[in-house]
Amino acid sequence: MTKFVALAFLFFSSNFIFAQKNKTKTTETVKPFVLGVIDEIQSKELNEKRILNIYLPEGYNPAEDIKYPVIYLLDGSADEDFIHISGLVQFNSFEWINQVPKSIVVGIATVDRKRDFTFPTSIEKDKTRFPTTGHSDQFIAFIEKELQPFIEKKYKTNDSKTIIGQSLGGLLGTEILLKKPTLFNRYIIVSPSLWWNNGSLLSLDSEMLKENFNQQTEIYIAVGKEGLAPTAIPHVMEVDANLLAEKLKESKSKSVKTHFDYFPEENHGSILHTAVSNSFKFFYPKQ
């Protein structure tokens, strides 16, 4: 009986030790799932350090001569839009999908979007509600003078530059389009907050509306069923987005192409994923 107990103890002890070894071995083989890289840039224009979340396409090799389009994503923090937009880019660039060329995605992590994405307003109530607003000129200078040169120097990029902005990000995308249209050649503007400063951007003139504007520029605008904006003077999000599209379609330049989408089944919170996916069909139509 004593021998039996001893053998049983030895058997269970061996199994326990074996299990512990296997558990240790399993733990040791766990590796992080890497989606991209986290980079950072010290900005003189903004007087702060900015975090960049960067997706590099499959096969990216800095030692090779292959260069890639760059997609700049506003609201590009890891807990905002970076992961799902990078996933859309990856999926659409799979060889069996082949909708989008392999691209680099640069997610600009958010610090203060009301400060960075809005220009000064004359609406006193908005100045009080959002006291940090009105500094988009500094953020645009950051993109133009610091961010784009930084990305183009450090990564393998070609001349294709797209910007994606939604809500206040769409407002900023529209401001860049109208004031500095050559910063990007593709614009994805989703549910833009054009109500800001009582819709003043909608009456802004722009060189890209003139006949002699010759940069090939493609603009995709989308809006969902979103209703009234938070303004004293009524603004309907769908109407404002449609007015912007109509304004751009009236450009005398043959180099400007504009597409407008309305998604009644989507709202302000859910539209971005659907809109970006559809924009790729406009930018890269299959023959």
Kindly list the averaged pLDDT for each block of 10 residues, start to end, along the chain of length 287.
46 50 62 89 97 96 95 96 97 95 98 97 90 97 98 97 98 98 98 95 95 97 90 85 96 96 95 97 90
Query: 21 lies in a domain?
Result: no
Whole-number Cα distances in Å, 227 to 230, 232, 236, 239, 244: 10, 14, 5, 9, 16
Query: 133 lies in a domain?
Result: yes
Strand order in the sheet with 217-224: 37-43, 48-55, 104-108, 68-73, 157-166, 186-190, 217-224, 256-263
Looking at residue 196, which CATH number applies to its domain? Answer: 3.40.50.1820
Query: 225 lies in a domain?
Result: yes
Contact 24, 49 (CB under 8 A): no
pLDDT of res. 144: 98
Query: 56 lies in a domain?
Result: yes
Instruction: Give the count of domains, the chain.
Output: 1
Amino acid in the structure at residue 163: I
Spatial distance between the Cα atoms of 230 and 145, rounded to a whole number of angstroms: 33
pLDDT of res. 5: 44
Written as six digits, the tokens of 107 are 């997610």
pLDDT of res. 29: 83
Query: 18 lies in a domain?
Result: no
pLDDT of res. 8: 46
Neighbours of 225 (CB within 10 A): 14
Q: Which range of residues forms the domain containing residue 236? A: 37-283
Query: 55 lies in a domain?
Result: yes
Whole-number Cα distances in Å, 270 to 73, 155, 164, 263: 17, 32, 15, 10
Of 190, 282, 207, 281, the closest CA to residue 244 belongs to 190
Of 267, 189, 195, 190, the closest CA to residue 236 belongs to 195
Burial of 50 (0-12, 13-18, 19+ CB in 10 A): buried
Written as six digits, the tokens of 225 are 């069923």
Query: 13 lies in a domain?
Result: no
Whole-number Cα distances in Å, 278 to 10, 97, 176, 185, 222: 64, 14, 22, 17, 9
For residue 228, the 8-state DSSP code is B
Spatial distance between the Cα atoms of 254 and 217, rounded to a whole number of angstroms: 10
Kindly state the helix (H) or strand (E) to which residue 262 belongs, with its residue range: strand 256-263
